Homo-oligomer: A and B are copies of this chain.
């Protein structure tokens, strides 16, 4: 039996007990149990699923102390961050519960029969129903909000899908704890504890095995472009391909105008330094690429930003692998002719997985010629590009896909900013005005997911209640008797949900 342990990121030492790598038989068994549980869970009424989600949220709150201790040992995030992420995770569960109570998420559409039409039209009633068992791959950088009971799992459970989680190997005890909490609450429902399954693994084989399990009907994944693309390829090559919702890498380009610098250079530098250094830069929305006017004010801004990063705390990275990849990336960036490291600190030599916030400064020509500068540096490292505002507009049209794009401009620069916003909206999922991309509000209007490679399916969001749509598919019923229709489609509208009836939105009975 192959086993592995977590490591304490602060010391680099092994932490906690050994966990067994899931075998092919383990995966097959978990997928089979998830499929059996799905047959029960999909029949649990939406409002009862909502109760279960709220109960899981309450159980998380009750387990706060144990969660903080377990997560902090494996992820070194500290109390404040863990408490904040716990609140977000509970809020996500409540958000989906509210969505289920309200009920319109099934997008019910009813079109009455029209015998007078040519050809005569039958009655049709359409509803969204759960896809089936869903696999969720948790990342290391959001142990709670994208962990075992994080956004992907909450959305899938809300949809009526069972979930097979492949836990991140850096945080096996965290995964176990969350699975135990969720399963205890699910056991009290008609779905049963098996609605949520957890397997551990650190090898690519284990990940491929989960995606290839024939019972699995969709995959939610948060992680690197390399790992995500490999699993996307597996999902697409299955005998029956399944949707793969990967939230991968993003540079989150941020553009600063001359007017914005003139108005509030210091404020922007302060906010930006915090956004880069926060969580040791291990947010998918970390601003990794900063475009600043090639002027005295721009160079001054670069200097200020570098100073602020030099004053920011040394970050603790989540695991050895992230540190290793980031160190390699650093070395490669150091070799780029025309790019200069503007921060002063060497990487700490302490034990543990530490990195100093770092800024590279370059010019637009070097940026255009160096693919290295367009690679994601996952950690507290950003690239600042000195360029003309007109150049920025061109650069914005040539970006690949990113989660976010940010514009800092003054009120009288809307012509420039408008062109930039229009270009950015073609390449990102979220356009931010005079702000910073970290801090992803969990509201219905959030869009977290942009063109590839920032996500593998830009039609959907990985954050917010609209993300439930990833785990639902439409089914239409033609001339079905009332008694055989799902409650959401019955003429009497027993759930009182909002529906589109003959083109008119209504919560009434027919």
Residues of A with Cβ closer than 8 Å to B?
Answer: 84, 87, 109-111, 118-119, 121-122, 124-126, 129, 131-132, 232-233, 236-237, 240-241, 243, 400-401, 411, 414, 417-418, 421, 425-426, 428-435, 439, 441, 443-447, 449, 451-453, 456-461, 466, 469-470, 472-481, 483-484, 498, 500, 503, 505
Contact = CB atoms under 8 A, between A and B. Distances in A.
B433 A481 contact: yes
Contact of A474 (B466, B470, B480, B481): B466
A477 B431 contact: yes
B478 A435 contact: yes
Given A109-B444, A451-B473, 14 more contacts: A124-B443, A129-B425, A232-B241, A236-B236, A414-B484, A418-B483, A425-B477, A428-B475, A431-B478, A433-B484, A444-B503, A447-B475, A449-B474, A461-B474
A124 to B, nearest CB: 4
A446 B505 contact: no
A411 B110 CA distance: 22
Contacts of A457: 243
A431 B126 contact: no
Residue with the highest number of chain B CB atoms closer than 10 Å, among A111, A233, A449, A476: A476
A110 B469 CA distance: 18
B232 A500 contact: no
A209 B129 CA distance: 36
Residue with the highest number of chain B CB atoms closer than 10 Å, among A109, A401, A443: A443
B441 A483 contact: no
Contacts of A119: 84, 439
6 contacts: A111-B443, A126-B445, A129-B425, A240-B453, A444-B503, A459-B470
B241 A475 contact: no
B459 A243 contact: yes
A426 B478 CA distance: 15
Given A110-B445, A473-B458, A474-B461, A479 B428 contact: no
A472 B459 contact: yes
A429 B233 contact: no
A445 B475 contact: no
A413 to B, nearest CB: 11
Given A121-B441, A241-B232, A475-B431, A498 B505 contact: yes
Contacts of A432: 122, 478-479
A461 B466 CA distance: 18
A446 B479 contact: no
B414 A478 contact: no
Contacts of A243: 457, 459
A38 B326 CA distance: 39
Nearest to A125: B445
A470 B425 CA distance: 18
A443 B126 CA distance: 10
Q: Which 6 A-B pairs have the closest CB atoms?
A: A447-B476, A236-B236, A124-B445, A109-B445, A111-B443, A126-B445
Contacts of A500: 444
A44 to B, nearest CB: 14
Contacts of A445: 109-111, 124-126, 476
Nearest to A113: B441
A124 B446 contact: yes
B429 A476 contact: yes
Contacts of A236: 232-233, 236-237, 241
A188 to B, nearest CB: 24
A479 B434 contact: yes
